């Protein structure tokens, strides 16, 4: 039997080892899910909803333990782990409220003995290969609507959030979801690859562009529905009429929350030259106030970097920015271990020749660039292969709407950032991915429309 070691990124200590899957067990799990799916789809929707409601209650009952488990294996500050679990509840409520309407058969024509209907049937067996940075959010965005709409789910948590993924499976099963309708699959990239090779009806992936591109290449000829929620290099533009202090505090939080490891972290900031110096000073002041430390401590704001290899990526971005003339305002180095630690880092006088402004940092590192006005800001915001989110700070609503309408991004923010709503679709342009989760579209995406042409004899 394979095993997967689970480490605490804040201390490097081994937490435990869990049994892991191999090619044979993955194939057996896929076959079990295939056999179980029709039975689950035959369960009345009200009962499927009752299972998910009990799952929600289970999360509430164990919230403290679940938060500690997530913090232990990811290094996420404990308050942010609690925030994620509390945020999850609103997402579940949204799906429970909206699923009936999404599954209702629509009669779109009825005349002269001819009726046309659209029925919404489940995809079948769907795979969810997930990320570690918000394991509850990105997992539940897929498996909650997938289960509600009658699919069986093979769920592979990230190898950096496996204990959390196993807790999800335990709570779903305790809530009445049959064991073979939601199956956790444990392991790293090779197990994900084995999973994608099975006979499946949909693959929903959250993770990096590099892995997403590999999966897309493998699945292309197989005509399997594929959704990829990938990384970003999310820009925000601060106009000269913005409230400097409010914008600096909001954007420092948007850049550094979860130690900068959010898909929608603010990754690039453009500031109008008229307020550039004041903004940079306020931003650095805010970052200086962020407490770095034990992720289990209540007052910690910056926790450990989850994946050790990311430290080298951050160091390379820092070295590249310094070599190309950026000004380091704070941080810039690893912090002493054990564990994976990086100081919150702010660069000013950056430009687009620097990796820091082009490739996802996914850590507590940010660059702030001076711009002359809206035209230059827009050009720089769109100078990226990604397109997940983008934002603008100004009291002028018309100006913000005019500019944000021209930005290539799945979500745009006016006077806010780093925000996800269950009511709105979550999607990316370009190398940030294809497909979407959340909103009513994020329920419909787990169904297939079947067209009925019915003529009375």
* Binding residues for ligand NAD (CB under 6 A): 129-134, 138, 156, 158-159, 188-189, 192-193, 196, 206-208, 211, 214-215, 229-232, 263, 360, 362, 388, 426, 428, 433
- Return the C-alpha torsion angle 333, 338, 340, 341, nearest 10: -40
Q: How far apart are CA 313 and CA 359, in angstroms?
A: 10
Least distance from ligand NAD to the Cβ atom of residue 186, Å: 10
Give the shortest CB-205-to-ligand NAD separation in angstroms: 7
Asked if residues 409 and 392 have their Cβ atoms less than 8 Å apart, the reply is no
Measured from the CB atom, the residue of 58 and 231 that comes closer to ligand NAD is 231
Q: Rounded to the nearest whole angstrom, what is the least distance from the CB of residue 280 to ligand NAD in the complex?
A: 26
For residues 244 and 357, which CB has a smaller minimum distance to ligand NAD in the complex?
357
| Annotated active-site residue in 84, 98, 229, 355 | 229
C-beta of 311: minimal distance to ligand NAD in Å? 13
Q: How far apart are CA 30 and CA 127, in angstroms?
A: 9
Q: Is there a catalytic annotation at residue 229? A: yes
| Full 3-state SS string of the chain | CEEEEEECCCCCCEEEEEEECCHHHHHHHHHHHHHHHHHHHHCCHHHHHHHHHHHHHHHHHCHHHHHHHHHHHHCCCHHHHHHHHHHHHHHHHHHHHHHHHHHCCEEEEEECCEEEEEEEEECCEEEEECCCCCHHHHHHHHHHHHHHCCCEEEEECCCCCHHHHHHHHHHHHHCCCCCCCEEECCCCHHHHHHHHCCCCCEEEEECCHHHHHHHHHHHHHHCCEEEEECCCCEEEEECCCCCHHHHHHHHHHHHHHHHHCCCCCEEEEEEECCCHHHHHHHHHHHHHCCCECCCCCCCCCECCCCCCHHHHHHHHHHHHHHHCCCEEEECCCECCCCCCCECCEEEECCCCCCHHHCCCCCCCEEEEEEECCHHHHHHHHCCCCCCCEEEEECCCHHHHHHHHCCCCCCEEEECCCCCCCCCCCEECCHHHEECEECCCHHHHCCEEEEEEEEECC
204 vs 276 by CB, closer to ligand NAD: 204
Q: In angstroms, what is the minimal distance from the CB of 78 to ligand NAD? A: 20
Does the annotation mark 280 as catalytic? no
> Least separation, in Å, of the C-beta of 277 and ligand NAD?
31
Distance, in Å, from the CA atom of 402 to the CA atom of 404, rounded to the nearest integer, reads 6
Select 160 or 393, whichever has its Cβ closest to ligand NAD. Answer: 160
Q: Which is nearer to ligand NAD, 227 or 300 (CB)?
A: 227
CB of 70 to ligand NAD, least distance (A): 14
The smaller minimum CB distance to ligand NAD, of residues 263 and 282, is found at 263
Q: Measured from the CB atom, is 15 or 193 closer to ligand NAD? A: 193
Kindly tell me which of 187 and 331 has the beta carbon lying closer to ligand NAD: 187
Shortest Cβ contact with ligand NAD: which residue? 192
Contacts for 368-371 with beta carbons within 8 Å, 24 or more apart? 368/269, 368/270, 368/271, 368/276, 368/279, 368/280, 368/283, 369/268, 369/269, 369/270, 369/271, 370/270, 370/271, 370/273, 370/276, 371/237, 371/270, 371/271, 371/272, 371/273
Closer of 59 and 142 to ligand NAD (Cβ): 142
**Catalytic, out of 263, 264, 280, 417:** 263
CB of 439 to ligand NAD, least distance (A): 13
Could you tell me the smallest distance in angstroms from the CB atom of residue 300 to ligand NAD?
A: 21
Q: What residues act catalytically? A: 229, 263
């Amino acid at each position: 039997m394979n095993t997967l070691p689970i480490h605490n990124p804040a201390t490097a200590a081994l937490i435990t080892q869990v049994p892991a899957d191999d090619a044979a067990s993955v194939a057996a799990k896929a076959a079990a899910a295939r056999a179980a799916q029709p039975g689950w789809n035959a369960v009345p929707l009200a009962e499927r909803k009752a299972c998910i409601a009990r799952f929600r209650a289970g999360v509430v009952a164990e919230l403290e333990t679940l938060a500690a488990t997530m913090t232990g294996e990811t290094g996420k500050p404990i308050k942010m782990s609690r925030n994620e679990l509390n945020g999850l509840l609103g997402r579940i409520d949204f799906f429970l409220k909206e699923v009936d309407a999404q599954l209702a058969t629509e009669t779109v024509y009825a005349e002269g003995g001819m009726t046309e209907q659209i029925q919404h049937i489940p995809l079948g067996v769907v795979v969810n290969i997930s990320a570690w940075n918000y394991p509850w959010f990105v997992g539940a965005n897929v498996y909650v609507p997938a289960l509600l709409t009658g699919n069986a789910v093979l769920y592979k948590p990230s190898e950096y959030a496996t204990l959390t993924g196993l807790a999800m499976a335990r709570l779903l099963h305790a809530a009445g979801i049959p064991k073979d309708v939601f199956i956790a699959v444990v392991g790293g990239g090779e197990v994900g690859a084995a999973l994608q090779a099975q006979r499946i009806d949909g693959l929903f992936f959250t993770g990096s562009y590099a892995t997403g591109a590999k999966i897309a290449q493998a699945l292309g000829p197989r005509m399997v529905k594929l959704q990829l929620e990938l990384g970003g290099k999310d820009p925000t533009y601060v106009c000269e009429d913005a409230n400097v202090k409010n914008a600096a505090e909001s954007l420092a939080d948007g850049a550094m929350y979860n130690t900068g490891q959010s898909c929608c972290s603010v990754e690039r900031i453009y500031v109008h030259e008229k307020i550039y110096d004041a903004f940079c000073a306020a931003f650095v002041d805010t970052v200086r106030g962020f407490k770095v430390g034990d992720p289990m401590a209540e007052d910690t704001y910056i926790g450990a970097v989850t994946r050790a290899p990311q430290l080298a990526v951050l160091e390379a971005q820092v070295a590249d920015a310094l070599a190309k003339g950026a000004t380091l305002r704070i941080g810039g180095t690893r912090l002493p271990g054990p564990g994976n630690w990086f100081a919150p880092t702010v660069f000013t006088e950056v430009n687009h020749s620097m990796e820091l402004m082009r490739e996802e940092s996914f850590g507590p590192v940010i660059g702030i660039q001076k711009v002359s006005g809206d035209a230059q800001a827009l050009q720089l915001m769109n100078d990226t292969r990604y397109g997940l989110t983008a934002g603008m700070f100004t009291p002028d609503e018309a100006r913000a709407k005019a500019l944000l309408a021209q930005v290539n991004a799945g979500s745009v923010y006016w006077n806010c950032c780093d925000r996800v709503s269950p009511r709105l679709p979550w999607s990316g342009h370009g190398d940030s991915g294809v497909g979407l989760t959340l909103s009513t579209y994020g329920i419909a995406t787990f169904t297939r429309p079947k067209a009925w042409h019915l003529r009375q004899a």
